[in-house]
């Protein structure tokens, strides 16, 4: 197997970023370091900040690879008899879907720490990450590699306020963060929800955003209403405040019963509708409710 040219990583990630980006470093080595590696000998890197891969986009890339081949090699590091991906996991996943047996790769002789650093920063530079993954990558660089926000700002080419605002998203409810990852709500919606006095309202408010198609401006108005003292809030069936309280109860019942629940409320009176989808599930619910008496 051809040996890659020694890279400028001896001094760690800071040395690499003094003069060039990861992408420029890779391009420099492509002509002399590309090797073909069995796709089954390659594993995802544990430093990969991306947690969510869009299946439709993977399929689209796989279709392109079948037609045109894989134009840009992935970057790997040798570990024992296998290889760890530094950059290009999406391409590797698509190549597997496309049925490739081998994949072009650039092998870098770097330490495990440098593998993690490169995987995190390369993804940030490519803007391949969703807002939550990017925030988690910043947090990991600070926690594991003891980077200050000032140094991190220099390394990734982002301002300190940009990094600070991005990392604030990690304070959101985990289910709200997942909604941002999936694209159900935007980063702007998420930042607006941070202003809620009661963190328990975040998920229910996020569901309201999806159900009603609220813009960020409309979400700001919703947050203002929810932050008002209850004695000031309008208590009718159509107020956002009462609706969000009903939604919270529905979520609690759904989690307790393990099935869809609808709560119809009219000024404290109403009914609870519990869905079941089989005779077995009906018996399970009856038994659960009977035991709770």
Query: Which residue in 25, 29, 89, 136 is the catalytic one?
Result: 89
Give the whole-angstrom CA distance, residue 169 versus residue 148: 19
Give CA–CA dist 156/17, Å, rounded: 9
Pick from 128, 151, 248, 149: nearest CA to 196:
248
Cα separation, 111 vs 228, whole angstroms: 53
User: Is residue 281 annotated as part of the catalytic site, yes or no?
Assistant: no
Catalytic site residues? Answer: 89
């Amino acid at each position: 197997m051809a040996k890659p040219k020694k890279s400028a990583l001896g001094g760690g990630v800071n040395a690499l970023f003094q003069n060039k980006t990861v992408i420029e470093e890779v391009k420099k080595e492509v002509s002399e370091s590309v090797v073909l590696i069995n796709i089954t000998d390659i594993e995802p890197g544990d430093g990969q900040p991306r947690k969510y891969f869009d299946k439709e986009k993977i399929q689209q890339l796989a279709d392109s690879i079948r037609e045109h081949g894989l134009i840009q090699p992935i970057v790997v590091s040798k570990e024992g008899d296998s290889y760890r991906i530094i950059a290009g996991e999406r391409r590797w996943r698509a190549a597997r879907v496309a049925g490739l047996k081998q994949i072009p790769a650039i092998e870098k002789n770097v330490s495990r720490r440098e593998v993690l650093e490169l995987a995190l920063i390369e993804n940030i530079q490519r803007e391949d990450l969703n807002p939550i993954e990017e925030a988690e990558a910043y947090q990991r660089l600070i926690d594991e590699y003891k980077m200050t926000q000032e140094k991190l700002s220099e390394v990734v080419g982002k301002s300190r306020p940009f990094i600070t605002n991005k990392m604030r998203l990690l304070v959101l409810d985990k289910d709200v963060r997942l909604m941002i990852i999936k694209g159900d709500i935007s980063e702007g919606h998420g930042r607006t929800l941070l202003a809620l006095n009661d963190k328990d309202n975040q998920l229910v408010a996020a569901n309201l955003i999806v159900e009603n198609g609220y813009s960020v401006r409309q979400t700001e108005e919703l947050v203002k209403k929810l932050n008002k003292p209850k004695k000031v809030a309008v208590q009718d069936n159509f107020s956002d405040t009462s609706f969000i309280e009903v939604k919270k109860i529905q979520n609690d019942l759904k989690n307790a019963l393990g099935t869809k629940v609808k709560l119809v409320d009219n000024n404290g009176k109403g009914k609870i509708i519990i869905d079941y989808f089989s005779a077995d599930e009906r018996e399970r619910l009856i038994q659960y409710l009977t035991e709770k008496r």
